[in-house]
Amino acid sequence: TKNSSFEKIIGFIGYIDKLKSVIRQNGLHDDSRAENTAEHSWHAALSAVLLAPYANFPVEIDKVSQMLLIHDLIEIEAGDTFVYNDEALTLQEQAEQEAAQVVFGQLPEDQGESLKALWEEFEARETPEAKFAKAIDRFLPLYSNIQNKGYSWRIHDVSQSQVRQICHIIEDGSTILWDLTEGMIDDAVEQGFLKP
């Protein structure tokens, strides 16, 4: 019935509040604390709207922002994995697939399937929207590390080559953003808060 779909959606809205409690490796720009995943998702969605003119190709910005609003919902079940932890990333893929079933399975079927498809498109990184969304998703943690002088880089002893390797996919979504990123990486090394 219509009513049970409505109730499922209300329940889901309550459930996703948990994203506010998923603490990320990244710090706020002012270095005062770690950010949570809900903050990151909002920041990414709005940043994408603002940076859309600098995507490598025309993108449906509604789709990009929806992708970014939901792309980390699975962290409610799977937690946040630090991108520089290779071992954890290997285990993460299976955990995320299982988490996606749990998370999106709580919605009415049509909505759940639709959001899961959007999440899968983001992860596959093949469409213009997914490439641009992923570029924004990779840029923001780097930008916060620039602003707070390596909050998560210092803790994990991250090097310049690791950052370049992880962030290089920014170029697939926006070459202008990648050019900026490269300059930021060079500056971080020069200022001594990113290992050469």
**Tens of pLDDT, residues 8-27:** 999 999 999 999 999 999 99
Q: Give the percent of the chain with pLDDT over 90.
A: 87
Region at 31 (left for phi over 0; alpha for psi -120 to 50; beta for the rest): left
> For 28-163, where are the E strands, in sequence order?
34-36
Average pLDDT over residues 76-86: 77
| pLDDT grade for 69, boundaries at 50, 70 and 90 | very high
25: enclosing H helix or E strand? strand 23-27
Phi, psi of 23, rounded to the nearest 5 degrees: -90, 130
24: enclosing H helix or E strand? strand 23-27
Distance CA 76, CA 74 (A): 5
The pLDDT of residue 55: 98
Say which residues have a Cβ less than 8 Å from residue 163's Cβ, sequence separation at least 6.
142, 153, 185, 188, 194
The pLDDT of residue 52: 98
Q: Give the percent of the chain with pLDDT over 70.
A: 94
Q: What amino acid is encoded at 24 in this protein?
A: R
Go through 97-135 and write b for each residue having 16 or more CB atoms within 10 A of its CB, e for each that does not: eebbeebbeebbeeebeebbebbebbbebebbbbbbbbb
| pLDDT digits 0-9 by tens, 137-174 | 999 999 999 999 999 999 999 999 999 999 999 999 99
